Each structure stands twice: as C-alpha cells, then as structure tokens.
Amino acid sequence: GENVEQHPSTLSVQEGDSAVIKCTYSDSASNYFPWYKQELGKRPQLIIDIRSNVGEKKDQRIAVTLNKTAKHFSLHITETQPEDSAVYFCAASLEGSARQLTFGSGTQLTVLP
C-alpha cells in the first residue's frame, strides 16, 4: 500500500518569511496529492491539491510542486502570517478510485509575530 512521509514535524518561521513542507510517497500509481490545514481544535480543510499531470500549482501565497520521478511533493507558503499557524497534512491517493487518502504525519507550523 501507499506510504507517505512528511518533514519536518515542526516548523517555526518569522512572520513574512517563507515556509516549505516536504512529502514523499511510495506508490507510483498515486496521482492526486492534496494538502489539508488543521487549526487547533478544528477539522482538516483542503487548501490546495495537485494532480500528476502538472508539476506546479499556485493559489495566492500557497503553491505546491510535484516531482513524479522522485515521488516527492512540497507545499510552499510565502509571506507567512500568524493565521497560517496550524498543522498541515499532505496526502496521496489514486483519483477516481475512491481509494482512501494516505496522510503524512503532519507538520506543526508556527508563524512568530
């Protein structure tokens, strides 16, 4: 089955700096890679996703890159703000199969004012 590893487990940055979170996956058939943000005490919410037919996707201050050859994808947050502080989870799946998402272990991001 799929195995997703996520690094780092914790990340602290100064407000305005960039943050990068990295994930690797094991199943080369996986083609859908979402990122979820979970604020303290709240449910995970999708913030961005990427499919294997593209190498990069951007939405305002958030971008995700995918390297299928290396089975590696990353989340980039620029100009970080205190409200970006949360736990971020990457995941991998085979789209269209309704296969469950395999999640990484999460990264606790803290943006220091």
Partner 1 sequence: GAGVSQSPSNKVTEKGKDVELRCDPISGHTALYWYRQSLGQGLEFLIYFQGNSAPDKSGLPSDRFSAERTGGSVSTLTIQRTQQEDSAVYLCASSLVARGVHEQYFGPGTRLTVT
For partner 1, the binding residues (CB under 8 A) are 1, 6, 32, 34, 36, 42-46, 49, 89, 93, 95-96, 98, 100-106
Asked if 105 and 10 count as a contact pair (C-beta separation under 8 A), the reply is no
Q: How far is the CB of 72 from partner 1 (least distance, A)?
A: 18
Q: How far is CA 81 from CA 5, 48, 56, 78, 112, in A?
A: 26, 17, 22, 9, 8
Question: Residue 78 or residue 94: which is nearer to partner 1 going by CB?
Answer: 94
Question: Residue 8 or residue 16: which is nearer to partner 1 going by CB?
Answer: 8
Question: Residue 48 or residue 111: which is nearer to partner 1 going by CB?
Answer: 48
Q: How far is the CB of 2 from partner 1 (least distance, A)?
A: 10
Q: How far is the CB of 95 from partner 1 (least distance, A)?
A: 5
Q: Which residues are within 8 A (CB) of 87 and not within 5 positions of it... i.e. 6 or more apart?
A: 37, 38, 39, 106, 107, 108, 109
